[in-house]
Structures are given as C-alpha cells and as structure tokens.
Amino acid sequence: MCASVSCESDYDEKKLIIRFETTRLDSRRPLVEARRANVIRIYENILNNSNKKRIALAGGYAAAEALRQVEPDVMAVYPITPQTTIIETFAKYKADGETETELIEVESEHSAMSACVGSSAAGARTVTATSSQGLAYMHEVLYIASGMRLPILMVVSARALSAPLNIHGDHSDVMGARDAGWIQIFSENAQEIYDNTIIGMKLAEKTKLPVMAIMDGFNTSHCVENLDLLQDAQVRSFVGEFSPERHLLDPENPVTFGPVALQNSYFEFKVQQEEAMEKSKAVYLEVAKEFERLTGRKKDFFESYELEDAESVIVLAGSTAGTTKDVVDALRREGRKVGLLKINLFRPFPVEEILVALKNAKNIAIMERVISPGTFPPIYNDIVAGLYQQVTGEKKNIQSIVYSLGGRDIFAKDIQKIFADLETEKVTKNIKYIGLNKA
C-alpha cells in the first residue's frame, strides 16, 4: 500500500488530502487497514502542527487568548491580582474589535458570578475569571451556578487568602471552593492553562456543570513561556456552537431555574447533581482525548512521570510539577526509583485511577499549597480515604506536606530532601511544613 499526500491552502486553513493505492487486498486486509489508519494519523499530526502558532506568553495572556478563541457570548469582569491580566487583555480584544463578546463590568466578584448565572440561564455561552478574595466573595453564588447546572467557565489564578494580606500564589482559594459543585482542572504552565481553558468550555457545555480552569498565581499567570496556539477555526470547531437544551429566553418551552425545593425534593436535586459530577469523569476523558488528537498533547486525569517502577513518589498539583520533574530526572540518572504523579483533574477526584497508578509506590509524599486548619489538606485526605477503602492489606507510608503558602519559593534542593526522606522512610503521621523560616 502506498499513499500520496497533498495540502491545499485556503487563507489560514489547510485541507489534507490523502489518496490511497492498495496494491493487494487479500488475507492481509487487517494489516493493510491498520497501516492505512496509521498513515492518516501521521499526516493529520503534520497538518495540525502546520496550523500551530508558537509564541511566548504569560499564563494570564494565554488564558485570555483561549477565551477569545472559544467566542463566549458574555464575559462578566471584575479585576483582582493576579487575575487582572486575563480580563485586561480580553477587554483590549473587545476594544480592538477582535471579539464580539458582551463585556459586563460589575462592581464586585459576587456580582460577576451573579451576572454569569443570569447570562448562562438565558442561554449564552458565559465565562469569567477571578482569584483569591474574589473567589471567596463569589462563594455563595458558586453553589447557585452548580445547583442550576449552568455551564459557566471560570479561569482562576490561584492565590492566598487574607488575612494577613498576601497577593501571591497558593491553592487556598480554589481548595476552599472544592465542594461547591464545580469541576476543577489544574494547570502546570502557560500551555496547560491555554489548553484547559478550551477543554473546560467544551466540558462545561457537555456536562451541564460549571468548570474552573486553574493556574498558579504569578508562578504561571505572570511567567512567560513558549506555547503552541491553535488557529481560531480549529478552536471554534473543537468547542462547537453552544445550543443549550433549556434556557429562559425560549417562550415556546418555558422553564424555571432555581425554584424552591423543600424537604420533599431538595435531597433528590443534590443527589442528581452528584451523579452528574461522577459521570463527568468519563466526559472529561472523552473531551481531553479529542483535544489530544487535535494537538498531540497528552491529556488525562493526571500525568504519570517515571511512575511505573517508582518506589518513592511525590503527588501534587500545579506549577511545582516542573521543578519536581527536573529533580526526578536527576535522581533517575543516579539509579534511584523516584517518580511524580501530577494531578490534572481534581474535582471530580479520580481516586480509583490514582490508586492504580500508585500501586508500586511504597513511600508517598503528598505536597499541597494549602493549609486546612484542624485537619489534613484535601488531596491527602482524598487519597488516604481511598486507600483505606481498598481491601489489599498493602501498607504504604504516606507523608502530608504543606509548602509554598503565600507564594514562598520552593527549590530543587527541597524536593531532593523530600525524596531522600521517603527513600529512608522518614515518614511521620504529622504534617511537614517545607521552607519555614527558622525562629
């Protein structure tokens, strides 16, 4: 079998034409068909790569570009550091005539999310962005958005919560909203927040659940990195047209959003919402794999980095994964069996899949940029609860670690020390705090 390929250009779009000439179709047909499929895959990747634009952007600008490309109908905006670059950039797109999105300038984050609820219920593709105290101020309305099953996309530059006042990055804000009924997707770098913003829009509309696409404040939102952008047409084809099943501006099919539900019905509403959240895991994989086929960038519940035979493993979410990968590479060159599990999808939490990925690990450190006063941090609790329910009798040493609150730096040497402690089984039942100033 041979294949000839041609590429036809039409302005910014390219069309790939593959012509197959099969020399023999006999008992080898399955092999021929497999090769044919492989050729198509190879050339589709070539075409996709030829349509990409490589550029250096900070995470906030990357998120804004992705939001422009998904073409929302409405964006409610209120600035707060370190999210401001997102809405500032998007507002410039609007002023320059590069988007037709309706910008709603409000007086607070509470009003921003309230505007999103009204917009989405009316049938508009709706987005917003926030951070820190802004997300906390929205908290009341987050539950309304998810309870009404409104597919709102919100980009969050994760930041510390006051008091004391701190404008730098950690995960206090998003972890505080982890039980608000929103899907939460974490990003390691500018490329991932760009990708997750696009994935998040499609995921929200397919699941009828709101989505947070999350990046670390400043570490990602304000750091410039190279990334690959898709063409506008590719993004719009991927997300598709938004056609809500029900909305308020359909007089032929009148509906009510947010009615009173008392003792005889409220419970059922919340269970149905939980069932939708559980089902969204499969939808996330479906959307993520479709995006992977489009871009060649691997997407999954989590990233397994040198995990297959790793005996000492770090689990974390966000930008620290980059430094951890460098440390893993260095220690692997020394013959040490270390690895990283980087969480992408946090809500819903893919606990079964994570436990399978950690099956060979003997010693695990779960690193989190959040403190939960009076108990252990969220990821630790979720993983330990999952392990407790497993009837394997297999013992694992698990260390809870809190680090980098308020934007404090963590260094490669800190991560090397964590691995060294795991390898020598210096694991305690208490939380370890990394990088504290000595008294």
pLDDT in tens, 196-252: 999 999 999 999 999 999 999 999 999 999 999 999 999 999 999 999 999 999 999
Q: Which range has the worst mean pLDDT, 26-35, 281-290, 294-303, 328-337?
A: 26-35
Q: From 3.40.50.10490, 3.40.50.920, 3.40.50.2300, 3.40.720.10, which CATH number describes the 302-434 domain?
A: 3.40.50.920
* pLDDT value for 9: 40
4 confidence band (pLDDT: 50, 70, 90): very low
Domain boundaries along the sequence of the chain: 2-51, 55-295, 302-434
* pLDDT value for 251: 92
Residue 51 in this model has a pLDDT that exceeds 90: no
Residue 411 in this model has a pLDDT that exceeds 90: yes
34 confidence band (pLDDT: 50, 70, 90): low
Using alpha carbons only, give the angle 406, 173, 278 rounded to the nearest 5 degrees: 135
Residue 18 in this model has a pLDDT that exceeds 50: no
* pLDDT value for 393: 62
Average pLDDT, the chain: 91
* pLDDT value for 1: 41
Phi, psi (5° rounding) for residue 177? -105, 15
Q: Are 247 and 117 in contact (CB under 8 A)?
A: no
55-295 and 302-434 share one CATH topology? Answer: yes
* pLDDT value for 5: 38
List the one residue out of 433, 428, 396 whose CA is nearest residue 312.
396
* pLDDT value for 35: 58
Angle between helices 266-295 and 190-207 (to 10 degrees): 130
Q: What is the pTM of this model?
A: 0.88
Q: Provide the percentage of residues in the chain whose pLDDT is more than 90.
A: 86
Q: Are 220 and 190 in contact (CB under 8 A)?
A: yes
23 confidence band (pLDDT: 50, 70, 90): very low
Q: Which range has the worst mean pLDDT, 93-107, 165-179, 308-322, 390-404?
A: 390-404
Instruction: Compute the distance between CA of residue 62 and CA of residue 6 in angstroms, rounded to an integer.
Output: 32
* pLDDT value for 47: 45
Residue 351 CB neighbour total at 10 angstroms: 16
33 confidence band (pLDDT: 50, 70, 90): low
Instruction: Compute the distance between CA of residue 208 and CA of residue 70 in angstroms, rounded to an integer.
Output: 17
Q: Provide the percentage of residues in the chain whose pLDDT is more than 70.
A: 87
- Give the burial class of 94: count Cβ atoms within 10 A of its Cβ; 0-12 exposed, 13-18 middle, 19 or more buried: middle
* pLDDT value for 7: 41
Instruction: Compute the distance between CA of residue 229 and CA of residue 341 in angstroms, rounded to an integer.
Output: 26
> What is the average pLDDT across 66-72?
98
> What is the average pLDDT across 345-351?
98
Superfamily for domain range 55-295: Thiamin diphosphate (ThDP)-binding fold, Pyr/PP domains (3.40.50.970)
Cα–Cα distances (Å) from 13 to 202, 233, 309, in that order, read 22, 8, 44
> What is the average pLDDT across 324-332?
98
* pLDDT value for 12: 40
Count of positions (residues) in the chain: 439
> What is the average pLDDT across 294-303?
97
* pLDDT value for 50: 47
pLDDT tens digits, one per residue of 100-138:
999 999 999 999 999 999 999 999 999 999 999 999 999
Residue 345 in this model has a pLDDT that exceeds 80: yes
Both tokens assigned to 190 = 């500018």
